[in-house]
Amino acid sequence: MDQILISYYENNAKRLRAVVNRILAQFGGLSSKDTDDFYSLANEVFADVLKRYDGQKPFDSFLYCCLANKIKSEMTKRNRRKRKADELSVPLDAPLGEEELTLADILPGDFNLEREVLGEEGERSQKLERYLNALSMQERRVLELLADSYKPKEIQRLLHISKKEYQDALAGIHTYENISLLF
C-alpha cells in the first residue's frame, strides 16, 4: 500500500491529478477553481479506495472507476443546482402579467445593451458576431424583432409561435453561455 501511495502522490500528486484530468476531459467549461475542487474530491476518494481495495482487480482500474463515479455524481449535483437557479431567474424582458410591460421597463438604470455591444460607432463587433452565431434561427429572429421594438405578442403572431416557444427563445437568448460571449 505504501508503494501505491507514493506512486500517486509523488511530484505534487502528479499521477492522481492525471487520472482526474482524464476524467474531467469529458466535461467542458470547468474553471480552475472547479478543477481544484475535483482534485480535493479525488484525495478523499483515494483515501477511501485505499481502505476498500481488496486486490481482486488492478488498483489503477479500481481507483479510476471510483473516481469517475464520484466526479460524475458531483457534476450531476452541480448541474442540478444550476438548473434550479436558472428556473428561479426571471429575464428582464419577460412580460409581467397580461400587460406588455416588462421588468426592464420598470427598473431604473442607464445600461444600454446596444451601446455596450455595438460601441459608440454602431459597428458590429466580433463579440456580437459570436453571440449571434450561437443563437438558433428562432432565437435570432426573436432578438431581431425585439431590437425593432416589437412587443412579445406581436413577435409571437409574426413568427407563428406559441407563448412557450417565445419564452424558450428568450431563455436561449439570455443563457449565461450566450451572454458571456458579449463580454
Decide if pLDDT at 149 tops 70.
yes
Q: pLDDT-based confidence at 83, cuts 50/70/90?
A: confident
C-beta separation of 31 from 82 below 8 A: no
Cell of 36: 481544484
SS3 56: coil
Model confidence at 119: pLDDT above 70 = no
Q: How many residues does the chain have?
A: 183
Q: Which residues on adjacent β-strands are paired with residue 102? A: 95
Model confidence band, residue 76 (pLDDT cutoffs 50, 70, 90): confident
Q: Look at the block and give the residue holding cell 420598470.
A: 106
Domains of the chain: 2-88 (no CATH), 103-182 (1.10.10)
Taking only the tens place, the pLDDT of each residue in 27-61 is: 777 778 888 899 999 999 999 998 898 888 898 99
Long-range contacts: 110-119, Cβ < 8 Å, 24+?
114/147, 116/182, 117/182
Give the three-class secondary structure for 36: helix
**b/e 129-142 (16+ beta carbons within 10 angstroms → b):** eebbebbeebbbbb
Q: Are 136 and 172 in contact (CB under 8 A)?
A: yes
Segment 152-157 shows an average pLDDT of: 92
Question: Could you give the CA distance from residue 102 to residue 92 in angstroms, rounded to a whole number?
Answer: 7
CA-closest candidate to residue 8, choices 47, 54, 66:
47
Average pLDDT, the chain: 81
Query: From CA 81, how far away is CA 87, in angstroms rounded?
Result: 10
